[in-house]
Structure 1
Amino acid sequence: MQNQTNIPQMGFGTYGRQGDAGIAALLVALETGYRHFDTAQDYDTETEVGEAIKRSGLKRSDVFVTTKISTHNLGPGQLIPSLERSLDTLQLDQLDLTLIHWPSPNGAVPLEVYIEQLAEAHALGLTKLVGVSNFTIALLEQAKASMGDVPISNNQVELNPLLQNKRLATHCKNEGISVTCYLPIARGVLGDVPIIRDLAIKYHATPEQIALAFEFAKGYIAIPTSGRAERIRANFEAIKLSLSVEDIAAIESVDCGQRAINPDWGPNWD
């Protein structure tokens, strides 16, 4: 399953997948069929991602790799050297997608400074696609003005049945920006939501599979993660699940704006 930017819809998040156990989980993901790894400079999992890809024996072109630039590397002259270090750590020559992880906290670094560096990284061939994460509509519009001819390919945001970010997601769709859902299974609490629980019973699925199938039906990318092989495999099975229009509408009704990631220095959410 792919979207307009050819990013595999089913991705594997790598937050917390560190050390030998992390590499083992990543290898299970690749063996299961995941072909999209999402990492970040702040996750400290770029080493594990590179090692897992190397050990898997898969061709580089078989695995889509995303990393995200830390807020510590947004200042003048900092972004490109940090991305080159990430490439060395990942044992890669080029990223498939590079995102700004967060807008600069409290606007300490002007947006134009790091967005222009991101466009330069694209021009240098360090990354095929570029995008952002945790950007609001207003920030997306500002970024677009600073990118020149380079398209913003993706906005990665917290999104799941309990926080559907409808206004932002609709804006992204209208602008041709793909949406990646982080925390797509809401940290395992969806089994407590009656509508989700009932749909899981109806489809002989897990609540997490229902959430992922919903996100795929909306055209989003999702990056669930787990350190347990059985859950890694179970989440992947969501790609086979097709929800009815009525069931999608039912899931839309559970949106309650329940945000889990909300730092004091974050943007003013839509």
Structure 2
Amino acid sequence: MADTLKIASWNINSVRARMDIVTRFLTEEQPDILCLQETKVVDTIFPGDPFRKLGYVHQVLNGQPMHHGVAILSKLPLDEDLRHDWQDNGEARHIGVRLPNGIRLENVYIPAGGDIPDRTLNPKFGQKLDFVERMTRWSEVLAEPTVIVGDFNIAPLECDVWSHKQLLDVVSHTPIEVAALTRLQQSHDWVDLGRHFVPPPQRLYTWWSYRSKDWTANDRGRRLDHMWASPAVAKQATAHRVLEGCRSWLKPSDHIPLVTEFAF
């Protein structure tokens, strides 16, 4: 294995619909590993050949029809295909592997949680909180050096959204969600690589709604996508970037890719 490792993560919002921009991203960035969320395709018709042609011959998939779905595509061998049903209903929202250097890589897609931040009125919100709680129970006993990436659907810091005041009651930035994610982070002393390299209160967004005709005009972004690492692994991280330009590519996802580089 190389002395350096470059991991990318991207909620692609349908991999088949966005193969052109995924191909462009991989060609330009050349990560060793790409973790995708919201692939929206069953494993049997996942478009694996275009990735193989680009060198991503190792593919671990966890998909389902039309919704959710995660995948890890790698130039490096991958072992120990594991899946946690943190949603507790069989949805394809997690996949985990072991890299050749022994580090675990976990790819997760936390539910959005609906529109009403009340588990009584909105069961989806309760499912989201329970999902994070199950992750926390897993994280508490995690002993292996690990990198966890994905769409967490929570923007934890005040500077992770375009307006803390206006989004306090909006799902993804409510105090109860932030508290749940904080407990998850503390359960393993996870290092938030985004904010390690771009300290608050610097601007750092990964998602802009499709509802805005020009996402750059009002810049109403949120940092919903994350890369965390165990403390020992985080010490090996050398760079972290978010690629905002991808949000303006043809037929874009509403999320942008994140890239972290490590030196071992």
Same fold (TM over 0.5): no
> Per residue, is there more strand in 1 or in 2?
2
The structure having more radius of gyration, on CA atoms, is 1
TM-score band, normalised by shorter chain: 0.3 to 0.5
Give me the TM-score of the superposition, normalised by structure 1: 0.42
Give me the TM-score of the superposition, normalised by structure 2: 0.42
